[in-house]
Structure 1
Amino acid sequence: MNTTDNPKAVLHAIIDPLCGWCYAAAPLFDAAAAAGFTIKLHAGGMLTGPRRKQIDNQWRDYVMPHDQRIAALTGQAFGENYYEGLLRDTSIVLDSAPPIRALLAVAALGGDDLAYLHAVQLAHYRDGKCASDEGNLHLLAEELALNGADFAQEYAKNEDAFYQHILETRALMNQLGAQGFPTVALETSEGNLKLLNHSRFYGQPSAWLEYLNEQLS
C-alpha cells in the first residue's frame, strides 16, 4: 500500500536533539516524510536537569566511538569543528532542554519541526555549534524563515509546555516499552501504536520505506 492511499500514515518518533543515534535516524525520518508520512516528534529530555553533561575527556572518549560508528553506518557528517572544537570545550554543558524548547517554539509558530531538528543536528555534529546554545538555536530558527522576535517570545514562555511535553513523552515511552532514543512507532488506522524495528535500516532509506509500506498493508 502506498502512503498516498493512506493520508493518515503517522510515524511517532521519540527523540532527543543531543542523541547521536537520533542524528543517525535523520535520513530515515526524511525519507518517510518525503514519502507522505506525517512525522510526530516526541522529545524525551535525555540530558536534562541532573542528567546534563559537562563536556570533559571522559565524555569525549565515550561518544566518539559511537559517532564514528554512526558516520560509517549512515554517512551522516561529523565535522572537525565538532570533534576538535565542541568536544574539547570543557566550558560547554550539554542540556537537552533548550533545543527541545526551541522545537516546541518552532512547532507553535507553524514551522517544520523536523526540518528544524535536522538543522540543529547538523549545526551541532557537522559544524560544532552547540545545540544547547540559545543563540545558535535562535539563528537556526531565523534560517528556517521564522520571525526572530516571534521565536524568542514563544521560546521565553514555553517552559511549562516543555515540562508537560517531557512527561507525555515519557508516558508514551512507558506505554511502548521503549528502550531509549530514538524509538519509532507507526500509528495504525485504528489509532493504535505499533513499535517498529528501525535500527536495522540505518543507512538504507529505500529498504526502510519498503518496510514501512509493508507495515501499512
Structure 2
Amino acid sequence: MQELSATYLFDPLCGWCYGASPMIERLRLAGVNARLLPTGLFSGAGAREMDASFAAYAWSNDQRIERLSGQPFSEDYRSKVLNKTGTLFDSGAATLAITAAGLADHRKRFDALRLIQHARYVTGLDITSVAVLADLLSAAGLGEAARLLTEESTALLEANRQLVAEGQNLFRRHGSNGVPALVIERNGHQRLLDASALFSSYDNLMAHLKAA
C-alpha cells in the first residue's frame, strides 16, 4: 500500500461523512497516505436556515447512517441542534476551524474534523458558532488554531479559500455526486472510489483499494 494515497473530500455538516469517519481512520491506521480536503458544499450558497421540515429529513437520514455505520446521533443533537429554532446549516466556520488546525500539519485536519463531528452529533453543540469552535480547538491543545480562527487571520482565510477551491476542483473533475468522496491515487493515476465502499466491510473496502 506504500504507493497508494487517498484524498478524502468532505463537509463537516455532512452526516454521511460522520458515518464514514471510522472507516477513514482505519485506512490511515493501515498506512494509507490520506489527505483531507473540504468542498464547501454546505457553506455560501449551500447554506440555509434549519426548519422543521429539514430537521425531520436530516434526522431520518441520520438514523439510516447510524444503522449502517454504528456512529451515534444523540438526542442532545436532535433537540439542541436540529430542533432548535433559528439554527443555521452552514459549514463555513467549521471548515475554517479545520483549516486552521491543519496549517502547520495537514494531518491535524483529521483530528479537528473528528472533534467537531463529535461535538455536533453526540454532544449537541452548535458548530456554526466561531466561539464554540474556538473553545473546542483550545481544549484539544490547538490554541494557535483557535486564535487564528477567532481573529479571522488573513493567512487563514486565504489558506481556506485555496483548500476549498482545490476540493471543489477535484470533486468536479471526478464527477462526484456528493460527499463523502474518496479519490484514490496510485502511480500518478486517480480514480473516484464508490462511496458505498465506505459503508461496507473493511475487507471489501481494501479490495476496492487494491483494484483501484
TM-score norm. by structure 1 comes to: 0.88
Query: Is the Cα contact below 8 Å between 2:135 and 2:146 reproduced in 1?
Result: no
Give the equivalent residue in structure 1 for 2:165: 167
Would the alpha carbon gap of residues 124 and 193 (structure 1) be closer, same or farther in structure 2, given more than 3 Å must change? same
User: Which residue is equivalent to 2:127?
Assistant: 131
Write the distance in 1 (CA, Å) between the matches of 2:30 and 2:42.
32
Q: Contact 1:23–1:121 (CA<8 Å) still a contact in 2?
A: yes
User: Alignment partner for residue 183 of structure 1, among 175, 181, 186?
Assistant: 181
Distance in 1 (alpha carbons) for counterparts of 2:54 and 2:4: 38
Alignment-derived partner of residue 148 in structure 2? 154
SS of the equivalent of 2:31 reads coil
User: Which position in structure 1 is the counterpart of 2:34?
Assistant: 39
Output the CA distance in 2 between the equivalents of 1:59 and 1:192.
Answer: 39
Asked if the contact 1:120–1:131 (Cα under 8 Å) also holds between the matched residues in 2, the reply is yes
Question: CA–CA distance in 1 between the matches of 2:46 and 2:75?
Answer: 26
CA–CA separation in structure 1 for the residues paired with 2:104 and 2:127: 20
Q: Is the 8 A contact 1:55 1:90 kept in 2?
A: yes
2:17 aligns to what SS in structure 1? helix
Give the TM-score taking structure 2 as reference length.
0.90
Match of 1:197 in 2: 194
Secondary structure of the 2:102 match is helix
CA distance in 2, matches of 1:203, 1:178: 19
After TM superposition, give the deviation of residue 174 of structure 1 in Å.
1.4
**Aligned: 1:90 with 2:50:** no
Structure 1 segments of 4+ aligned residues over 6 angstroms from their partners: none
Decide which moves more: 94-103 or 157-166: 157-166
| Count, aligned residues | 207
In structure 2, C-alpha distance between the alignment counterparts of 1:180 and 1:200, rounded to whole Å: 14
Structure 2 residue aligned with 1:114:
110
| Corresponding residue SS for 1:193 | strand
SS state at 1:181 partner: coil
The offset of 1:141, in angstroms, is: 1.6
Question: Mind listing any 5+ residue stretches in structure 1 that lack a counterpart?
Answer: none
Structure 1 pair 138–109 and aligned structure 2 pair: CA distance change class (3 A): farther
Gaps of 5+ in 2: none
Q: CA shift at 1:90, angstroms?
A: 1.6
Give how far 1:193 is off.
1.1
Write the distance in 1 (CA, Å) between the matches of 2:189 and 2:137. Answer: 33
- Match of 1:207? 204
Partner of 1:66: 61
Q: Contact 2:137 / 2:146 at 8 angstroms: preserved in 1?
A: no
